[in-house]
Amino acid sequence: MTFQKPTIPKGSRDFGPSEMAKRDYIFSVIKTVFKKYGYQPIETPAMENLSTLLGKCGEEGDKLLFRILNSGDFLSNVSGNDLKSKDPVKLINLITEKGLKYDLTVPFARYVVQHQNEITFPFKRYQIQPVWRADRPQKGRYREFYQCDVDIIGSKSLLSEVELIKIADEVFNRLGIKVIIKINNRKILAGIAEIMGQAEQMMKITIAIDKIEKIGLDGVKHELLEIGIPQSSIDKLLPILTFTGDFEEKMFLLRDNLSSSKIGLQGVYELETVREYLSFFELSTAVQLDLSLARGLNYYTGAIIEIVAEDMKIGSICGGGRYDDLTGVFGLKDISGVGISFGADRIYDVMDQKDLFSEETSQVTKVMFVNFGEKEEKYCLSIIEKVRKAEISAELYPDHSKIKKQMSYANNKNIKFVAMVGEDEINENKITLRNMTSGEQIRLTLGELISKLQLE
Amino acid sequence: MTFQKPTIPKGSRDFGPSEMAKRDYIFSVIKTVFKKYGYQPIETPAMENLSTLLGKCGEEGDKLLFRILNSGDFLSNVSGNDLKSKDPVKLINLITEKGLKYDLTVPFARYVVQHQNEITFPFKRYQIQPVWRADRPQKGRYREFYQCDVDIIGSKSLLSEVELIKIADEVFNRLGIKVIIKINNRKILAGIAEIMGQAEQMMKITIAIDKIEKIGLDGVKHELLEIGIPQSSIDKLLPILTFTGDFEEKMFLLRDNLSSSKIGLQGVYELETVREYLSFFELSTAVQLDLSLARGLNYYTGAIIEIVAEDMKIGSICGGGRYDDLTGVFGLKDISGVGISFGADRIYDVMDQKDLFSEETSQVTKVMFVNFGEKEEKYCLSIIEKVRKAEISAELYPDHSKIKKQMSYANNKNIKFVAMVGEDEINENKITLRNMTSGEQIRLTLGELISKLQLE
């Protein structure tokens, strides 16, 4: 019998020990910070009913769903005529009723509605789980990947926006990633469209403005004309697009320009309040006002936040905003919230490329005891018991293999110290400890060994 | 528009903050111990190719698979005749090619074969991930649940069995669960069948012996006769079944009784070696030899291990054994290994029923600052920044709600301390700290507050 090497579905990944160590490190930093600010974890199932998932992200979203074939006789609901029709759209709903979640937001909304009577609002939750999308796999885009969301819902306080910005700043500071934090507000974008006399065209105008870095000011003007925005309206936009200066100067000019738009002024007020609250915190980086920031306009109603890594053309590594109606689609109205989402895969790539993972991240075992034979291994068992009692990660090589093989095992596993206990050591009641990086060897008592390893 | 409260698929669960805190606690204890012994984590995708999953656990196993409908036009491979046949067995393989993993063992075997050139053997890995089974849901049995496996593969050393027993002992000791650790060896079961002159009937004999606690000695005899084991063979079994005494006495009698069976004596040798190695470690509980222990006979080839909670009729909370051919089914021969699996759901139930979770498990926030209004909240922001700098989890209630509502939020969230900073406190440059359990209130400087919270 011949075998083909087994594979995994395209767009999915195995994480080996070294990747897991790095990923765990990222998640553990993120969780530590979340908890420090009072956020609690929840988890929802991988599968949701299709009635929960369908129609929440348009037809395109529905196509990204992995559907689960009904168990048992999946054809029991299907008539001969249904089959004859060979109509996939009709058949699919007869043979599937569950799907894999494609994001954490829809299940979270479902969770809040389903458990509304158990939840204490404002509800500060985080959720770190895989999601699945039947997308075309490509570099950096996977069919199974982790999302990492943190939200406060049930409060309209702008303190929440501030808290999430502070959290993101602290996470990236701890990870050692230099970032740029950009903020905008949908109400300002609405105000701009309003003073242009084009309130209805807000989306299109914003999408054009969003391209300013790529196509320049003239490009934006050109695009606006093309989509039918009159020159007179564009003239009102130009002073805003050419604002220079710091956050405060921009806010001053904005307030001036948007003075005739109620919603615009509300946006200015919100941004100013966020900025004032932020001033009570030390941030690693100044928050920048970016009027071209327009992510998530389909659902964000207030603040829009985006964080990119400095000097990296990798796109956003964290982003989010305020939404006024998370749960309405499931029948629970007026639940306002604000949330951000960390892109674990991109954060991983940034840290890997910038060499930000410390050597220790992938070190599990602190010391490996060489196995010289039956007599020595028994002797080592009592020693290793005491080393582990001191909470030092230790292992005894399980076989009487050649020393070279054992050393190479320690090397491959990135183990920093190797302990050798042969006949001499047993007679002397000592242990020879080898530093695998420097090659230095010293002979120590058990007590000295433990003290040394605890310091390393 | 009216809405039905959304639900989740039957057999699946949401985990809210309080359950998550307890589950995270269990997993974190388990991971800490795994790492202390040099085990490294891996993760594999939720979806595997059906070619990997099918046929690994018999027809019954295949029926437990959740299959993923092919994306895009799932009917593209299906002819009109295929449809007309209305044959689910035929159709199912035309419209699905991926499934959700139903255990961690098969994906691990697949992982080892696929990545054999990157892995340093012996490979000590753990894996904590959800698995899915299209089983009939019932109390304590879910369609999505976590498995938590730890294995050493690529070594035949009996030190590995010993290490895993030691790990289990340490995990349950840390969790505060009193357990009974039972061990057996398939080779002894084979030896027993052999001296009965019924080597071929080993499985059936073992299944009968396995029932001894339920049906008694006479019941076992009766069952053996019924399946056609002659009385003369049963007579040879009886002295073994009626062994009394401790581990050593049983081993002595076993060696005597199995002296004519080579495989039986090999089993005795293995058990004795494991027992000798174990004597170098301090265990919280003595390991018991249980000749009726017969789990996993389809794949275990040496040691069989099972752990149950004392005084709980909940079944096994941890179990495993030695397998000599994990990866043969994928074409990689002679990879021996040993592994155990922790039942997270049952461990959770034991701890919940025995009240073993400490109050602190579910405490995320150490101190909540009451929000008295605009002036006070700003003052609190600078204070809270310093409290968090000391790595104390703290939050400021985001809204200017009634004090009663804020207090009830703190209570529901199991927050131990509430800090109050009103006009008096601002003037005095102090903070009033309320212990939510005792009701005691004291007024402290910021420095005193931080010191107190760090100690609590």
List pLDDT tens digits, range B28-43.
999 999 999 999 999 9
Burial annotation A323-360 (CB, 10 A radius, 16+ → b, else e): bbebbebbebeebbbbbbbbbbbbbbbbbeeeebbeee
Mean pLDDT across A422-430: 96
Domains delineated in chain B:
17-43+106-353 (3.30.930.10), 363-455 (3.40.50.800)
Q: What is the pLDDT of residue B155?
A: 96
Q: What is the pLDDT of residue B2?
A: 61
Query: Hey, are the CB atoms on A132 and B408 less than 8 Å from each other?
Result: no
Query: B interface mutation test: which of A65, A69, A75, A406 has the most B CBs within 10 A?
Result: A69
For chain A, the average pLDDT equals 93
Residues of A in contact with B280 (CB under 8 A): 378, 381-382, 385
With bands split at pLDDT 50, 70 and 90, how would you rate the model's confidence at B59? confident
Q: Please report the ipTM that was assigned to this predicted complex.
A: 0.94
Handedness of CA B55, B60, B63, B65 (dihedral sign): negative
Measured at the CA of A155, the angle between CA A152 and CA A156, to 5 degrees, comes to 115
Q: What is the pLDDT of residue A1?
A: 53
Residue A91 has pLDDT above 90, yes or no: no
Q: What is the pLDDT of residue B245?
A: 85
Condensed to tens digits (0 to 9), the pLDDT of residues B208-222 reads: 988 888 899 999 999
Is A151 within 8 Å of A104 (Cβ atoms)?
Answer: no
For B451, the token pair is 């010191």
Q: Does A390 touch chain B (CB under 8 A)?
A: no
Residues of B in contact with A120 (CB under 8 A): 408-409, 412-413
d(CA B171, CA B164): 10
Q: Find the CB nearest B6 among A67, A110, A388.
A: A110
Residue A86 has pLDDT above 80, yes or no: no
Query: Hey, are the CB atoms on A17 and B3 less than 8 Å from each other?
Result: no
Residues of A in contact with B47 (CB under 8 A): 8-9, 12, 66, 132, 143-144
A residues 144-163 closer than 8 Å to B (CB): 144, 152, 155-157, 159-160, 163
d(CA A45, CA B9): 9
Question: A376 CA to chain B: closest CA distance, Å?
Answer: 12
Condensed to tens digits (0 to 9), the pLDDT of residues A343-373 reads: 999 999 999 999 999 988 888 999 999 999 9
Query: A interface mutation test: which of B33, B62, B68 has the most A CBs within 10 A?
Result: B68
Query: Hey, are the CB atoms on B51 and A17 less than 8 Å from each other?
Result: no
Is B387 within 8 Å of B433 (Cβ atoms)?
Answer: no
Q: Find the CB nearest B6 among A7, A52, A368.
A: A52
Query: Hey, are the CB atoms on B115 and A16 less than 8 Å from each other?
Result: yes
Mean pLDDT across A298-302: 89
B residues 364-383 closer than 8 Å to A (CB): 364-365, 368, 377-378, 381-382
Which residue is closest to B134 within chain A, CA to CA?
Answer: A71
SS3 state of residue B439 = coil
Question: A321 CA to chain B: closest CA distance, Å?
Answer: 17
d(CA B387, CA B417): 13
Region class of B311: left (phi > 0), else alpha (psi between -120 and 50), else beta: left
With bands split at pLDDT 50, 70 and 90, how would you rate the model's confidence at B1? low
Query: Hey, are the CB atoms on A20 and B14 less than 8 Å from each other?
Result: no
Is B385 within 8 Å of B446 (Cβ atoms)?
Answer: no
Which residue is closest to A22 within chain B, CA to CA?
Answer: B41
Residue B66 has pLDDT above 80, yes or no: yes
Condensed to tens digits (0 to 9), the pLDDT of residues A10-30 reads: 999 999 999 999 999 999 999
A202-209 and A231-241 are packed helices; what angle lies between their axes, rounded to 10 degrees? 50
Q: Does A453 touch chain B (CB under 8 A)?
A: no
Residue bearing tokens 């699919």: A92
Residues of A in contact with B68 (CB under 8 A): 66-69, 100
Q: Does B345 touch chain A (CB under 8 A)?
A: no
Query: Hey, are the CB atoms on A42 and B152 less than 8 Å from each other?
Result: no
Condensed to tens digits (0 to 9), the pLDDT of residues B83-131 reads: 777 788 888 989 999 999 999 999 999 999 999 999 999 999 999 999 9
Query: A interface mutation test: which of B10, B24, B40, B371 has the most A CBs within 10 A?
Result: B40
Q: Does A89 touch chain B (CB under 8 A)?
A: no
Question: B202 CA to chain A: closest CA distance, Å?
Answer: 28
Residues of B in contact with A92 (CB under 8 A): 69, 74
Q: What pTM did the predictor assign?
A: 0.95
Residues of B in contact with A368 (CB under 8 A): 38
Q: Find the CB nearest B17 among A41, A48, A398.
A: A41
With bands split at pLDDT 50, 70 and 90, how would you rate the model's confidence at B147? very high
For chain B, the average pLDDT equals 93
Residues of B in contact with A144 (CB under 8 A): 45-47
With bands split at pLDDT 50, 70 and 90, how would you rate the model's confidence at A33? very high
Is A75 within 8 Å of B86 (Cβ atoms)?
Answer: yes
d(CA B108, CA B127): 9
B residues 423-442 closer than 8 Å to A (CB): none
Condensed to tens digits (0 to 9), the pLDDT of residues B371-388 reads: 999 999 999 999 999 999
Mean pLDDT across B62-89: 85
Cβ-proximal residues to B130 (8 Å cutoff; 6+ apart), any chain: A46, B46, B144, B145, B146, B147
Residues of A in contact with B7 (CB under 8 A): 49, 114
SS3 state of residue B40 = strand
Per-residue 3-state assignment (H helix, E strand, C coil) for B344-375: HHHHHHHHHHCCCCCHHHHCCCCEEECCCCHH
Residues of A in contact with B17 (CB under 8 A): 40-42, 125
* Residue A376: count of CB within 10 angstroms of its CB: 20
For B356, the token pair is 């073993």
Q: Does A283 touch chain B (CB under 8 A)?
A: no
Q: What is the pLDDT of residue B296?
A: 79
Residue A75 has pLDDT above 90, yes or no: no
* Residue B51: count of CB within 10 angstroms of its CB: 14
Is B270 within 8 Å of B189 (Cβ atoms)?
Answer: no
Element (H or E) spanning A147, and its range?
strand A144-153
Q: Which is nearest to A42 in space by CA: A100, A114, A143, A97?
A: A114
Q: What is the pLDDT of residue A244?
A: 84
CA A167 to each of CA A30, A163, B203: distance values in angstroms, whole numbers, following the listed order: 9, 6, 59
